[in-house]
Amino acid sequence: MTLQWTAVALFLYVEIGVLLILCLPFISATRWQCIFQLRIWNKMARFWNKFFLAMIIILIVLFLDALREVRKYSGVGNGKDANLHPNMFDHLHMKLFRAQRNLYISGFTLFLWLVLRRVITLINQLATESGSTASLQIKAECANQTAKKYMEDNELLKQTLMYGKGDKATAEGNELLRSEMEKLRGELKGSEEALEKSQSEMEAMKKQSDGLTKEYDRLLKEHQVTPDLLVHIVSTLSLQKYSYPLTSSKSC
């Protein structure tokens, strides 16, 4: 392979390795988000979009060039001259084989480059939604505890009022207790409304988190075949190494 196609093949191997690491089940999305938020990535963030677009343009150009080579050598060597010049026929087939190999390498590299960007975005979104869901659960628990406390205070106030009905000396105290009870009722109502709002937000966050999880799992299932594709490309490269000496021996 030439230098440019060797670089593209190495880039393809790196993409496959990174995707396999991102798919490891024992590393959570929150840990990946912590890794993505390191200072080194923040410094590289302003160059990331430019690098991403530049790689897409380069890979598209290489893919179109490989496609042109495949179309160039696909219709050659099927005529009568193939029997008259067998060495030329083998040489054209070798050219076609290399063009097809380059087409596969550039195509899968471009595809995995887009998949890698999408997987990283989904991991960040999943980690953000998980953190929001946890904070909403904490708020809901605090609201429940506050509501229980207000209900207990309300019951105590009712009992105190019932015991103090016949005592005229405690009339002023009862009025204060009634005003306090009304105040607690208003606070309890506000806490219940906040609790209902938190529960509705938590349910919405859970639905969105489930959708992101399903999308992430779908991408994982779609790209579990990448190791087989790597084996196919490596076997193709090995066939080229063995076919080239045979061709040179025929020419001799």
Q: What is the pLDDT of residue 247?
A: 43
Q: Give CA 204 to chain center in angstroms.
A: 20
Name 106's Cβ contacts closer than 8 Å, sequence gap at least 6. Answer: 8, 59, 62, 63, 66
Give yes or no for residue 251 having a pLDDT over 50: no
- Lowest mean pLDDT across 73-77, 154-158, 183-187, 225-229: 225-229
Question: Which domains are seen in the chain, by residue range?
Answer: 3-251 (1.20.1270)
The model carries a pTM of 0.54
Residue 123 to residue 25: CA distance in whole angstroms: 12
Of 226, 203, 235, nearest in space to 108 by CA = 226
Instruction: Pick left, alpha or beta for residue 85 (phi over 0 → left; psi -120 to 50 → alpha; otherwise beta).
Output: beta
Give burial (CB, 10 Å; 0-12/13-18/19+) of 136: buried
Residue 51, H or E segment: helix 39-74
- Lowest mean pLDDT across 18-22, 124-128, 191-195: 191-195
Q: What is the pLDDT of residue 245?
A: 44
Buried b (16+ CB within 10 A) or exposed e, 184-199: beeebeebeebbeebb
Residue 104 to residue 230: CA distance in whole angstroms: 10
pLDDT confidence band for 13 (50 / 70 / 90) = very high
Residue 123 to residue 24: CA distance in whole angstroms: 12
More confident residue, 149 or 76: 149
Other residues' Cβ atoms within 10 Å of the Cβ of residue 137: 15
Q: What is the pLDDT of residue 199?
A: 78
Contact 157, 184 (CB under 8 A): yes
DSSP helix/strand/coil, 237: helix
Give yes or no for residue 81 having a pLDDT over 60: no
Q: What is the pLDDT of residue 62?
A: 92
Q: What is the pLDDT of residue 41?
A: 74
Q: What is the pLDDT of residue 76?
A: 62
Buried b (16+ CB within 10 A) or exposed e, 18-41: ebeebeeeeeebeebbeeeeeeee
Residue 204 to residue 193: CA distance in whole angstroms: 17
Give yes or no for residue 31 having a pLDDT over 70: yes
Q: What is the pLDDT of residue 104?
A: 93
Residue identified by tokens 């019932």 is: 162
Contact 127, 26 (CB under 8 A): no
